[in-house]
Amino acid sequence: MHIIRRRGWEIPEHLVTPEAIAMNRRSLIKGVGAAGLLLAGGRAAMANDPAPTDNLHPYARNAAYTVERELTPERITSRYNNFYEFGTTKNIWEEAQALKTRPWTIKVDGLVEQPFEIGIDDLITAMPREERIYRLRCVEAWGMTVPWSGFPMKAFLDRAKPLGSAKYIRIETFVDPRIAPGQRRIWYPWPYVEGLTIAEAANELAFLVTGIYGKPLPKQYGAPIRLALPWKYGFKSIKSIKRISFTQERPKSFWEVLQAAEYGFWANVNPEVAHPRWSQATEEVLGEGRRIPTQLFNGYGAYVADLYKGLEKERLWA
Ligand code: MTE
């Protein structure tokens, strides 16, 4: 396989997480795993803003979406997050508690029958809720398995009623530099933006997440609502969504604007296509410290491979 090695010249090197540093942080978390539990008692508590939909949890599990791997424990996944709005390290869970998740509205606009704004609790109440166990594979070569609670993106599309001319969905995270210190770093192209084709969004795997481990979603995971796209690298799973727009043009994502040589629109998981700075052949199982082979489409090819037929000339893999 031909591996292209490019320098990350678009942004200063210190802004990109080099693999070695990412790996060291992961080694660190192994130690912290056990000790972390003891420490947590003395530190700022994780507390969600109370919401009228809290008591809908736990959502009923949909057994069709399960995984043969062990679930990654909450004590690990809740202390190891990527949420650049709150900092560039994995340890942002305390900073993220500053996010105010109620009241919270989502704007739906662009090529739809009728643009609208909807309160998060009205949306949750109206949607068909369920729990699904999914893998997540981060482009940094670690993976986790978690039970997300939420509803299919397809149900949201049916509510949004896009026009026939809509080809893409552009999704945007909140902007509030007063509470999100990362957003005071003006060299980043805030807000965090991600995009999908309408066909991808309508795929049965595309899932809007409002909870995890049978409870409302804690803030560091992207409360009150985020995406889960298990066949794509984790950066496509945008957190704390404020706006969803239907467009004719392909949206440019946050990472694509920042570093187009390394991150593109499609970002499907493929172990045979290396990141310009590291291999994607294997992944570290978060919290377990062992590496396992990565699978094409993160193991979800049966659901999604057909979406990419005829698109072989596109840069389909990160
Ligand atoms: N969404 C926003 N708004 N900001 C981010 O920095 N990071 C992404 C994605 N969604 C990110 C985001 C990346 S790189 C990954 S791997 C996942 O969130 C991590 O999700 P987790 O912290 O719940 O594991």
Residue 233 has pLDDT above 90, yes or no: yes
**What integer pLDDT is reported at residue 45 of this predicted model?**
65
Which of 25, 101, 225, 237 has the most ligand 1 atoms within 8 A of CB, as the residue to mutate? 237
* Chain mean pLDDT for the chain: 89
Q: What is the pLDDT of residues 256-265, one digit of tens each?
A: 999 999 999 9
Residue 71 has pLDDT above 60, yes or no: yes
Amino acid at 172: E
Return the residue whose CA atom lies nearest to atom 3 of ligand 1: 239
User: Which atom of ligand 1 is nearest the CA belonging to 173?
Assistant: 3
Q: What is the pLDDT of residues 262-316, one digit of tens each?
A: 999 999 999 999 999 999 999 999 999 999 999 999 999 999 999 999 999 999 9
pTM greater than 0.85 (yes/no): yes
Stretch 171-192: mean pLDDT: 97
**What integer pLDDT is reported at residue 46 of this predicted model?**
73
CA 113 to centroid of ligand 1, rounded, Å:
31
Amino acid at 50: P
Measured distance CA(240)–CA(179) in Å, rounded:
13
Return the residue whose CA atom lies nearest to atom 12 of ligand 1: 238
The whole-angstrom distance between residue 29's C-alpha and the CA centroid of its chain comes to 20
Which of 46, 75, 82 has the most ligand 1 atoms within 8 A of CB, as the residue to mutate? 82
Strand partners, 232: 268
Return the residue whose CA atom lies nearest to atom 11 of ligand 1: 83
Residue 195 has pLDDT above 60, yes or no: yes
Residue with tokens 């893998």: 135
Q: What is the pLDDT of residues 17-53, one digit of tens each?
A: 433 334 444 444 444 444 444 444 444 567 889 999 9
CA 265 to centroid of ligand 1, rounded, Å:
16
Residue 9 has pLDDT above 60, yes or no: no
CA 171 to centroid of ligand 1, rounded, Å:
13
Measured distance CA(234)–CA(142) in Å, rounded:
10
Q: What is the pLDDT of residues 76-107, one digit of tens each?
A: 999 999 999 999 999 999 999 999 999 999 99
Taking CA atoms, 290 is separated from 17, 75, 142, 195, 282, in Å, by: 21, 18, 10, 32, 10
3-state SS of the chain?
CCCCCCCCCCCCHHHCCCHHHHHHHHHHHHHHHHHHHHHHCCCCCCCCCCCCCHHHCCCCECCCCCCCCCCCCHHHHCCCCCCHHHCCCCCCHHHHCCCCCCCCEEEEEECECCCEEEEHHHHHHHCCCEEEEEEEECCCCEEEEEEEEEEEHHHHHHHHCECCCCCEEEEEECCCCCCCHHHHCCCCCCCCEEEEEHHHHHCCCCEEEEEECCEECCHHHCCCCEEECCCEEHHHCCCCEEEEEEECCCCCCHHHHHCCCCCCCCCECCCCCCECCECCCEEEECCCCCEEECCHHHHCHHHHHHHHCCCCCCCCCC
- Return the higher-pLDDT residue of 110 and 41: 110
